[in-house]
Each structure stands twice: as C-alpha cells, then as structure tokens.
C-alpha cells in the first residue's frame, strides 16, 4: 500500500472546503429530485453519498490501523483518492461522527414522550419480538455469510481476529433497526398519531432503538474482547452505573434548569441548548471510555433529559437546519465514501438478497401476527410492519461503526446500504396500501369536531364569525374587519379566532416531536389578543389553534362544523376553501401591522 501524501494546513483547508461544497451540492440536487417525485429525501441523500464515493468516482479507501481516529487511508488510484486524501477524509469522518452524536441526543429526547401512551403491554410486546427475532436472524444470517474476507472480516482495525459472535451481533443490530422519523412522518401526515396504531408504532420504534443500541454495544464490546460474555459483563456494569448517574443525578439537575429556562410559548434559551450539547458530549466521551460507543452515551443522555412538553420539539427545531441541510449529508457522504458497490460481484448478489430478505422478514412478517395478537386489525398490523421495516439512515450508523472498527467487510457494508435504500423506498407506498383513506378522514373529522364542540357551542342567533388571519402581521386587518360586526342590531355576534399552523413535512431522519407542543402556544400568543379585544365589547369570543397537515381544508371543515355564517381571512387559498362551504360569507382582507 503506498504511503498517503501529507498535505500542509492551507491545502487541507482548501481540499476540505471543496469536498464539503461537492457533498452539499450533490446532496441537495439528488435529495431534492427524490422529494419532487414523492420519494424520501433520505434515500436521495444516501444515493448522493454513493455518487461522491468510489462506486462512481473510482479508487478505494482501505481501512488503516490508526487507533486514535480509526480513519481510512488512500489505496489505489481514482478520482475519489484525489478528492479525499487521508487528512481530508479524517476530517469528514470525525465531522460525521459528531453529527451522529447530536442526532442521538434528539433521538433520546423523544423516548419517554413516545412510551407514555398508556399501551405499555402492546408496545413492549411488539418491541421485544422485533428485537429477539432480528438477533436470532443475525446469528443465522451470520452463519451463512461467514466467508472470511468476503462477508466476515478476518482482522479488525487493530489486527485482532473478528469472531463469529461479533460478526453476528453487528448483523443483528442492522436487522433490528427501525427508522423512527419516517414512521412519525407518515403517521403525522395521516393524522394517526393518537390512534392505537400510532401509539404502538411510536412507542415500539423508540424502545426498539434503545434495545438496538444495546445489541450494537454488545457487538462493539465483543470486538474488543476475547468473547462477548466477559467483555460485555464489565462494560454492562459500567454502563448501568452511567445510566443510574444520568437518571438519578443528572436528570434532577436538568429538571431544575429546564423549569427556570424553558417556556414552550417563548423562544428556546440559548444557554439551555448549550448545557444539553455539553452534557451530550461529556456523556458520549464517558460511553466511549467505557467501550460501549459514544453514540450510545449520547442516546442515553437524551433519554435522561426530563420530558417537558415541547422541549424535544423546540431543541430539534433549533438544531435541525444545520443538521438536515449540512451535517447529515456529510455523514451520508462518509458512509457513501466508505461504500463501494463494485465489490458486489455476481457471485455475491445472493448474499445481499439473503440479507435484504431477512431484513424484511424479521420486521414486517413478524409484526403482522404479533400486532393481530395484540388487538390490531390485519390491515393495521401490516401497516405497522411496513413502517417498522423502514431502515432510513439508522442502519448506516451500524455500518459506519462496524467499518470504523474494521469488523464489517465492504460487501457486508454495501448490503446494509442497499437494505437502507430498498426498505425506505418501499415504506410509503405499502403504508398507503394498508392504511385506508377512510381512516385518515375519520381522524380529521375527530380533530375538527373536538375543536368545534368546545368553542362557543351555544348558538345565540347572531352572526358566527370565524376570524382566521394567516400570520401575526395580518392580525390588525382581520380585527378591523371583525369589529364591523360589533355595531349591528339584534343578537350579539360570536367570534372564533383561529389559526391552524401547518405541520411541516418531516424529513426521514430529522427527528421532530409532535408540533402542537410549540406551534400551538406560539399561535395562541398572537391570537388571544384578538379574541380579548372582541370579548371586551361584550361579545362571545375565543381563540383556537391546532396543527394541521392541510390547514385550508381543515379551516373550511371547522367553519362548517362550527356553523359559521361569516369568515374573515387574509389568505387567498383559505378564501377559496371557505367559498365552498355552504352558508358562509367570506371576507378577504389585506395584511397590516401586527397587533400591539
């Protein structure tokens, strides 16, 4: 192997900037193209990572024994070697790892919120089945794909033999993965978060993630020791001590800080974000020192953060732009640079198909009987199985950790990437097939009815005016139009001041809690003054807000259910939707300065 060239600092900087620019450009183009055709952005960005790696550009990256970074050294020739010389790749690799540490914080912060659904038996039952079966499959598949140097690495990054147990545990962790963000996105779009299916799915995918990291930690520990039992025993004891410290000591300190620093209706305190990031880094360091991997430590810290309503969503909102637009594409590029699909020669296609079949079988096919046994219908059980079968980028975390340790071969890692792409692409269309449209419409009607029946349910005979400004800047114009109804003779008018924040489309990797926790309080902050001004004139007036994936249609539904006679809007799309409601006179006004 030729010695890698040593670049001076200015040249390293230039090469890093060029590499980052290329990664960002390709990720945005390919990810955006996939979104345009209704496919998950994460698949496009995984493919973008492959496009900037050796599969397309030629050359290769061979693992080098560099203990302090576990990085890669250039081996061979090709454009990939020119773009990512050793020092550049070291930087990208470390940046990708730090990205995952922050990503694990966000995953951990959603754990308890999702488990508190009142369906503990069902959630635990599904989760245990979907961890136990992948572990069994991991050893079965590992027993078949055990060709030394082809599917199973012979020596790890420091030159130790890779045991069958280590190989099987990494395969098991990859089979056990479920992409929680993709599942949440589909459930949110279909308004099924609060159904049995939604609650079981969200709770199960969270518990599965936690248990999957234990399997991964077992694989990491096994790679460092003579055997998994002895290696895991000590590390498990230290890990339990870390968990106890986090939940008994750190959690109480964070609760005190959050109580004083966090208000769901206000912007997130910067100092609180700094404390959470600092805790994440320190816990990641502690976990790495124990030997259970920094990512597990970051996940545990996130899970230990007190589950104050709106906190997880607010923290994610603060961090997600940098993560989604820049850092996660860098991580996916690192995974792509480490993945060379050219190694999958015809003779190896069978092994890749075996791993893919096992991936689908141990999730989808296992969930169906388990779900039906726990009270879900056949359609719901299939839908849940398809959703939990989605791997997203989480399986790439297993691949990257395995390659950094030198326990996964290029062929095995390439099979992980293919499973990520296939299982993620199949999720949405199959979920649509098993989730009937009637279920979505039923959940929509429940949301609207719940809002309309508690908001001024008594009809006085006067005008019932729905006041629906689109933005805070539109409030004064909407209020001025509403005040025209105060001077009429006869029964006093009733007012419903409403805004339906749009549920933004979720990416398939950026975690975001249910948005009611932050969007609704913020909306009510500027809606309530309008209702108070109208109520001060002696009229019934209330403010209302709820998150909606289709605000205009839901606003029309709310007007119909509430029996509105008039609607004041500042948005053309809302006006067109309300024009279709029988008996409602629409008044469209222009924006003005925000209400004082």
Q: Which pLDDT tens digit goes with each residue over 483-513?
A: 888 876 778 888 999 988 876 655 555 444 4
CB 486 within 8 A of CB 285: no
The CATH number of the structural domain formed by 444-588 is 3.40.50.620
CA distance 470 to 574: 9
pLDDT of residue 208: 84
Helices and strands: H and E segment counts in the chain: 27, 7
pLDDT of residue 279: 93
Residue 78: partners with Cβ closer than 8 Å, 6 or more residues away? 54, 57, 58, 59, 60
pLDDT of residue 74: 38
CB 448 within 8 A of CB 203: no
CA distance 236 to 584: 65
pLDDT surpassing 90 at residue 344: no
pLDDT of residue 64: 34
pLDDT surpassing 90 at residue 171: yes
* Comma-separated ranges of CATH 1.20.1530.20 domains in the chain: 9-435
Rounded average pLDDT over 301-317: 82
pLDDT of residue 450: 60
pLDDT of residue 250: 93
CA distance 76 to 483: 76
CA distance 304 to 335: 29
CB 200 within 8 A of CB 370: no
Q: How confident is the model at residue 260 (pLDDT cuts 50, 70, 90)?
A: confident
127 exposed, middle or buried (CB, 10 Å; 0-12, 13-18, 19+)?
Answer: buried
CB 170 within 8 A of CB 408: yes
CA distance 573 to 551: 10
In terms of phi and psi (left: phi > 0; alpha: psi -120 to 50; beta: otherwise), the region of 466 is beta
Instruction: Give whole-number Cα distances, 50 to 23, 186, 397, 412, in Å.
Output: 10, 26, 15, 15
Query: Who wins on pLDDT, 554 or 459?
Result: 554
pLDDT of residue 439: 61
Query: Who wins on pLDDT, 40 or 356?
Result: 356
State the pTM of this model: 0.73
CA distance 295 to 506: 23
CA distance 56 to 294: 31
pLDDT surpassing 60 at residue 514: no
pLDDT surpassing 60 at residue 227: no
pLDDT of residue 193: 65
- The count of other CB atoms within 10 Å of the CB of residue 579 is 13
3-state secondary structure 237-269: HHHHHHHHHHHHHHHHHHHHHHHHHCCCCCCCC
Residue 468: partners with Cβ closer than 8 Å, 6 or more residues away? 478, 497, 498, 499, 500, 555, 567, 568, 569, 570, 571, 574
pLDDT of residue 281: 93
Q: How confident is the model at residue 558 (pLDDT cuts 50, 70, 90)?
A: confident
pLDDT of residue 254: 92
pLDDT surpassing 60 at residue 164: yes
Instruction: Give me the phi and psi of 250, to 5 degrees please.
Output: -60, -40
Q: How confident is the model at residue 140 (pLDDT cuts 50, 70, 90)?
A: very high
Low-confidence winner among 124-138, 481-495, 515-529, 571-585 (lowest mean pLDDT):
515-529
* Comma-separated ranges of CATH 3.40.50.620 domains in the chain: 444-588
Residue 384: partners with Cβ closer than 8 Å, 6 or more residues away? 126, 197, 200, 201, 204, 367, 371, 376
Rounded average pLDDT over 96-108: 83
Instruction: Give whole-number Cα distances, 462 to 302, 436, 488, 493, 558, in Å.
Output: 52, 40, 9, 5, 18
What does the mean pLDDT of the chain come to?
80
Please name which of 354, 361, 472, 339 lies closest in space to residue 410, comparing C-alpha atoms: 339
Q: What percent of the chain has pLDDT over 90?
A: 15
Rounded average pLDDT over 342-358: 90
Residue 546: partners with Cβ closer than 8 Å, 6 or more residues away? 447, 451, 500, 501, 516, 520
Q: How confident is the model at residue 119 (pLDDT cuts 50, 70, 90)?
A: low
Query: Who wins on pLDDT, 256 or 461?
Result: 256
pLDDT of residue 117: 53
pLDDT surpassing 90 at residue 205: no
Q: How confident is the model at residue 230 (pLDDT cuts 50, 70, 90)?
A: low
Each residue of 13-43: pLDDT tens digit?
888 899 899 989 998 899 889 888 877 777 8
Rounded average pLDDT over 552-569: 88
Residue 583 Cα to chain centre, angstroms: 42
CATH of 9-435, one of 1.10.620.20, 1.10.10.10, 2.40.110.10, 1.20.1530.20: 1.20.1530.20
CA distance 541 to 535: 5
């Amino acid at each position: 192997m030729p010695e890698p060239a040593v670049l001076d600092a200015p040249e390293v900087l230039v090469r890093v900037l060029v590499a980052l620019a290329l990664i960002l450009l390709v990720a945005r183009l390919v990810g955006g193209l996939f979104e345009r055709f209704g496919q998950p952005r994460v698949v496009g960005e995984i493919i973008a990572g492959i496009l900037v790696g050796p599969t397309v550009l030629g050359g290769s990256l061979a693992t080098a024994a560099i203990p302090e970074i576990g990085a890669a050294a250039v081996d061979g020739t090709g454009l990939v070697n020119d773009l990512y010389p050793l020092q550049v790749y070291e930087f990208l690799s470390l940046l990708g790892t730090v990205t995952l540490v922050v990503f694990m914080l966000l995953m951990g912060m959603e754990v308890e919120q999702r488990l508190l659904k009142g369906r503990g038996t069902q959630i635990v039952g599904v989760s245990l089945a979907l961890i136990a079966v992948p572990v069994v499959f991991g050893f079965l598949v590992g027993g078949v794909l055990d060709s030394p140097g082809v599917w199973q690495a012979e020596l790890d990054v420091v030159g130790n033999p890779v045991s069958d147990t280590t190989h099987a545990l990494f395969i098991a962790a990859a089979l056990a993965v479920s992409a929680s963000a993709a599942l949440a996105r589909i459930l949110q779009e279909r308004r099924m978060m609060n159904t049995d299916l939604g609650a079981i799915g969200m709770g199960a995918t969270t518990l599965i993630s936690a248990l999957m990291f234990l399997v991964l930690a077992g694989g990491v520990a096994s790679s460092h020791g003579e055997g998994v039992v002895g290696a895991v025993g000590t590390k498990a004891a230290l890990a339990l001590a870390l968990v106890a410290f986090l939940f008994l000591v750190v959690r109480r300190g964070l609760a005190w800080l959050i109580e004083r620093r966090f208000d769901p209706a206000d912007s997130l305190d910067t100092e609180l974000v700094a404390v959470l990031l600092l805790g994440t880094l320190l816990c990641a360091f502690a976990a790495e020192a124990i030997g259970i991997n920094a990512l597990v430590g970051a996940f545990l810290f996130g899970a230990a953060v007190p589950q104050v309503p709106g906190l997880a969503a607010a923290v994610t909102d603060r961090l997600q732009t940098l993560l989604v637009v820049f850092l996660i594409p860098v991580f996916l590029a690192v995974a792509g640079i480490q993945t060379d699909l050219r190694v999958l020669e015809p003779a190896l296609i069978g092994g890749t198909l075996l791993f893919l079949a096992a991936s689908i079988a141990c999730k989808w096919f296992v969930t169906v009987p388990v779900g039906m046994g726990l009270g879900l219908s056949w359609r719901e059980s299939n839908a849940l199985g398809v959703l939990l079968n989605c791997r997203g980028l989480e399986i790439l975390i297993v691949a990257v950790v395995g390659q950094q340790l030198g326990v996964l071969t290029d062929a095995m890692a390439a099979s992980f990437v293919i499973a990520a792409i296939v299982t993620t692409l199949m999720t949405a269309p199959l979920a649509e097939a098993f989730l009937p449209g009637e279920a979505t419409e039923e959940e929509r009607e429940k949301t609207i009815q719940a809002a309309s029946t508690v908001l001024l349910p008594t009809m006085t005979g006067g005008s019932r005016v729905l006041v629906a400004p689109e933005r805070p800047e539109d409030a004064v114009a909407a209020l001025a139009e509403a005040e025209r109804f105060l001077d009429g003779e006869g029964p006093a008018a009733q007012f419903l001041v409403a805004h339906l924040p749009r549920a933004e489309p979720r990416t398939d990797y950026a975690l975001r809690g249910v948005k009611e926790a932050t969007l609704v309080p913020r909306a009510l902050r500027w809606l309530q003054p309008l209702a108070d001004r109208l109520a001060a004139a002696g009229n019934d007036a209330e403010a209302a807000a709820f998150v909606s994936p289709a605000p205009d249609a839901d606003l029309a539904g709310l007007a119909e259910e509430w029996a509105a006679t008039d609607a004041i809007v500042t948005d053309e799309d809302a006006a067109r939707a309300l024009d279709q409601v029988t008996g409602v006179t629409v008044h469209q006004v222009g924006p003005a300065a925000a209400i004082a």
